[in-house]
Amino acid sequence: MKIKFNWKILLSIILISVAFGYFLALSGDEIKKTDLYQEKGRNFASQNSALQTQNSKKLYEVLEVIDGDTFKIKYGEQKKSVRILGMNTPEKSGPYRKRECFGEEATKKAKEILSGKKVSLEFDSSQSKFDKFGRILAYVYVDGKIDFEEEMIKQGYAYEYTYHGHKYKKQKIYKETQKKAEKNKLGLWAENTCNGKK
């Protein structure tokens, strides 16, 4: 008895086998990607946790002052950028930004207060711990005591800054401090400097 060979059935079996193998390979890649993302998430969470538990007490050496509201600290063997919460200073001149009134003065003042000092950091649960550039977002205390933001706003080198309307813990204090600087026409509020304009 002769068995009739059916090429269509054979071809269908081969195609199904190839498709199934491809599906398994993709699934394996997705599992690897998921594992990788979970690992990154764990690392990021670990970094957040370490910062949250340590920074309220630990003092960090200031390595470099970038401008009035950004500086770098020694964090272990690394350099970490810190973007200060609750205040904003005018921009100094640079290749990617336009100089604003009192920007150079604000940077100079920040250097005067921070250079060669150690700082402690305090986080605010209403804000992220890192910004989109990966910089640490925190309140800054010079030698663990002096509120750097309040000092800069009080002397008229910075504005109170609320990010996208997100109310934060020290908002009221910094707003009131700014009102006093405005009233006394200090720093960037003086008529012979910026008169409160950037």
Contact 168, 85 (CB under 8 A): yes
The catalytic position among 61, 77, 83, 151 is 83
Q: Beta partners for 94? A: 97
Rounded (5°) CA angle 147-186-160? 45
Catalytic residue among 135, 150, 151, 160: 135
- Tell me, yes or no, if 99 is annotated catalytic: no
Active-site position among 30, 61, 64, 91: 91
Neighbours of 186 (CB within 10 A): 16
Q: Is 83 a catalytic residue?
A: yes
DSSP assignment of 137-149 equals: EEEEEETTTEEHH
* Separation of alpha carbons 112 and 62, rounded Å: 12
97 is catalytic: no
Active site positions, annotated:
83, 91, 135
